[in-house]
A and B are shown apart, each in its own frame.
Chain A
């Protein structure tokens, strides 16, 4: 908490860039991660240009192993696995962005309100956080997805419900900590308006942990979305979603290629996001640097 007031955190973007320039080799995994994520973003936006076939059409005999015609083989319905994997990026990546952005925003706003206002607001928000966090995340996501009905949108809602409390708790503790700093007390005694104190004196020193967590969470959300689709609570068929493709591959275990391509896609994205998240944490949170 004490590090929050350092100049390094006040100019976080500048600090990040300077750090990355200065320390290229230790930041190399993050660079590679960035390239991988960039690759998948490009793929998600331009899949029709790259994919050799339609992701929904039967374009060959079923369960064909990888060949020159189908680099990652065909699935149980004779669809091209590579094409479905490339199109799958357009399902899995946006859902991760939506869940993390909405979850972090909702959590941060509620956490900041709880920490700054205190009293009943704090009690109500934090008890809600406690209740939500008392459920295992996967179980809660499953329960919400079952209640709302399967589908990518409902899976996203389920994951936001699972994720926001983490950010709310983090933000609340940050705000309470910063609120006790001298410059905030000085602002209060000078008669600065409450909203301005929060906006100008507290939030700038409170939100870096949220950014660090959000970066680290991207990979986890991709995994949870895939897990929900794997158990039939995510994307509806025939949507080419990575988790669902792995689920279809699991039925035909000995035809390994059905699950291999989406599995590698998930592995690369999650690993890349973790590399980036680690680096962002190293730069912005000096407590974790060794």
Chain B
């Protein structure tokens, strides 16, 4: 009979350890599964946060943050036009858009469980105006706000403002828990710009009624959200969202390929094109941001008068479709006027086209047969995936074909801002991202109306015949008009701005969203940018 050697004897302690491990295995798997379900959803983006205070924040990440943590009276629908209830369950406007009434939803509560009341609305809007942050102008048409009861607001405006609901939807018009904020140094009085000391507090705390609350913020590192357990509406679909500061497109691409992030928001279109796999989804969504060229008839550096025909020639020399291909790999759209695609008045406008022969003819008619030389100062940045240096080199190539010779002078944004606010530059380029849903902002920024940003920067105010009073007249009519006639009036203003040839839109880049196929609910929104409340992991 064969004798097998005795198995080695295990020590008592080792036996106990093995037994414990075996017994614990089923429980440890369950714990692992539970962890997987509650894992945070990670988003990679260049945070570039200036503030987390609703009255002072002015950045793209701020829009995402404010929309997730705070709420406005009404919200913009997914179609980008319809108005949905927010904190207000109903609202109405009078015939000429000078008076609005809102009824607050009595169920609405802040994250500490206290009810959202009319006094909080008045306090938040007063603070927005008086703290004098970058968006303090948003509700500047309000004359008086009355609160007949804790859930009713009657608002009188100083002038007709058909875009008032659009402004109220803006994340900066969010409602703050006034009691909590006041207890931490926030003020809404006229002297709030000097007496309000709550901005640092808002970097560590939130006081809103949204589906998330601020968990923590580490500047230039990470912004963490956690679910508001007392949310009065549909609760958030994930427990936590971590937004990791990832500055450049390549780092974001590597993070999502390594599985270190679930969503990457700023991957360059050329890079994104190569990334689609069964695990990674690449989606392009039309945006409302755009890059424009600005021509300044009043710039001190002009060597020839930049008259309207000369500006027309410059605009005709641009290969607009080529600009889209070269700057955003085709992931963008043509834009006719400073009113972007999708906003009232933008439908049916003539698309910009290149016509080199006509451009040369216009220059010849203006006595500039040998062409013109223009110094171009521009901010050497990347806006919404468009590398400005690349864009300007493309324009340089295009315009050379019409004898318009550009000398490029890239500079930092701050230096560029000094230039355009001072002597100006004959030709430059910049970007615009809407502050709310409404076309009036574009006319007030780019129209040749006294006091607008580009009437000043282009020096048009100093040049006879360059201002366009018709634009102001049409804007006022549009703001007082009922919804049915508003688009037609804005379209007329858009045509006027096209003919001004001061602002020439170059490209309306798409938003490129790259995300894990395990994530759902990823979409772009004008106000919320990326609505966090809709994000979840697939089951």
Structural contact, A149 and B411, CB atoms closer than 8 A: yes
Asked if B392 CB lies within 8 Å of chain A CBs, one says: yes
B382: which A residues are within 8 A, CB to CB? 251
| Binary contact track B390-411/A, C-beta < 8 Å → 1, others 0 | 1011101100000000001111
Instruction: Please choose the segment from A2-10, A14-22, A202-210, A230-238 that sits at the chain B interface, where 4 or more of its residues have CB less than 8 A away.
Output: A230-238
Distance from B301 Cβ to chain A, minimum over Cβ atoms (Å): 14
Contact assessment for B390 and A248 in the assembled complex, using a CB-CB cutoff below 8 Å: yes
Q: Are B397 and A236 in contact (CB under 8 A)?
A: no
A interface residue count range (under 10 / 10 to 19 / 20 to 34 / 35 or more): 20 to 34
Whether the pair B270, A150 counts as a contact (CB closer than 8 A) is no
Q: Which residues of B contact A251 (CB under 8 A)?
A: 249, 268, 382, 387, 390
Q: Are A150 and B410 in contact (CB under 8 A)?
A: yes
| Given known A-B contacts A76-B326, A252-B270, A150 and B409 have beta carbons under 8 A apart | yes
B147: which A residues are within 8 A, CB to CB?
none
What's the nearest-Cβ distance from chain A to residue B117, in Å?
50
- Return chain A residues, CB-CB under 8 Å to B412: 146, 232
B390 partner residues in chain A, CB cutoff 8 A: 76-77, 248, 251
A255 lies within 8 A of B270 (CB) = yes
Knowing A77-B390, A77-B393, A77-B394, say if A252 contacts B411 (CB, 8 Å).
no
Whether the Cβ atoms of A236 and B271 lie closer than 8 Å is: no
- Partner pick for B410 among A77, A232, A248, CB 8 A cutoff: A232
Give the distance in Å from the alpha carbon of A146 to the alpha carbon of B410 in the complex: 11
Q: A228: CB under 8 A from chain B?
A: no
Q: Within the assembled complex, what's the spacing in Å between the Cα atoms of A185 and B382? A: 64
Q: Give complex CA distance A76, B392 in Å.
A: 13
Contact with A along B128-158 (1 / 0, CB 8 A): 0000000000000000000000000000000
The yes or no answer to A254 lying at the interface (CB within 8 A) is: yes
A188 at the interface (CB under 8 A from B): no
| B-side interface residues, number (CB < 8 Å) | 25
Bound: A149/B378 CA distance, A: 12
Q: In the complex, which residues of chain B have a beta carbon less than 8 angstroms from the beta carbon of A62?
A: 325-326
A57, A78, A251: which has the most chain B beta carbons within 10 Å?
A251
Contacts of A237 in B (CB 8 A): 389, 392-393, 408, 410
User: Chain B CB within 10 Å — which of A151, A250, A254 has the most?
Assistant: A254
Question: Which A117-147 residues have C-beta < 8 A from chain B?
Answer: 146
Least Cβ–Cβ distance between B401 and chain A, in angstroms: 11
What are the residues of chain A within 8 A of B274 when measuring CB–CB? 254
**A contact residues around B271 at 8 Å (CB):** 252-254
Once bound together, how far apart are the Cα atoms of A151 and B409, in whole Å? 8
Q: Is residue B380 within 8 Å, beta carbon to beta carbon, of the partner chain?
A: yes
Residues of A within 8 A of B389 (CB): 232, 237, 248
Q: Chain B residues with Cβ under 8 A from A253's Cβ? A: 249-250, 253, 271
Chain A nearest CB, measured from B429 CB (Å)? 13
Residues of B within 8 A of A248 (CB): 387, 389-390
CA distance A90 to B374 in the complex (A): 26
Closest Cβ–Cβ distance, residue B280 to chain A (whole Å):
14
Q: Is A63 an interface position by the 8 A CB rule?
A: yes
A265 contacts the other chain (Cβ, under 8 Å)? no
CB atoms of A146 and B415 under 8 A apart = yes
User: Which residues of chain A from 20 to 70 have any CB-CB distance to chain B below 8 Å in the complex?
Assistant: 57-58, 62-63
Q: Report the bound CA distance from A248 to B391 in whole Å.
A: 12
The answer to whether B270 touches A77, judged by C-beta atoms less than 8 angstroms apart, is no
1/0 per residue, CB under 8 A from A, across B290-328: the answer is 000000000000000000000000000000000001100
**How far is B394's CA from A63's CA once the two chains are assembled, in angstroms?**
14
Cβ–Cβ < 8 Å partners of B268 in chain A: 251-252
> Which residues of A pack against B, CB within 8 Å?
57-58, 62-63, 76-78, 146, 149-151, 232, 236-238, 248, 250-255
Closest 4 CB pairs of A and B: A253-B250, A232-B380, A238-B393, A237-B389
B contacts, CB < 8 Å to A? 249-250, 253, 268, 270-271, 274, 325-326, 380, 382, 387, 389-390, 392-394, 396-397, 408-412, 415
**24 interchain pairs, CB-CB under 8 A:** A63-B270, A76-B270, A76-B326, A76-B390, A77-B326, A77-B393, A77-B394, A77-B397, A146-B412, A149-B409, A151-B409, A236-B408, A236-B410, A237-B393, A237-B408, A237-B410, A238-B396, A248-B390, A251-B249, A251-B387, A253-B250, A253-B253, A253-B271, A255-B270
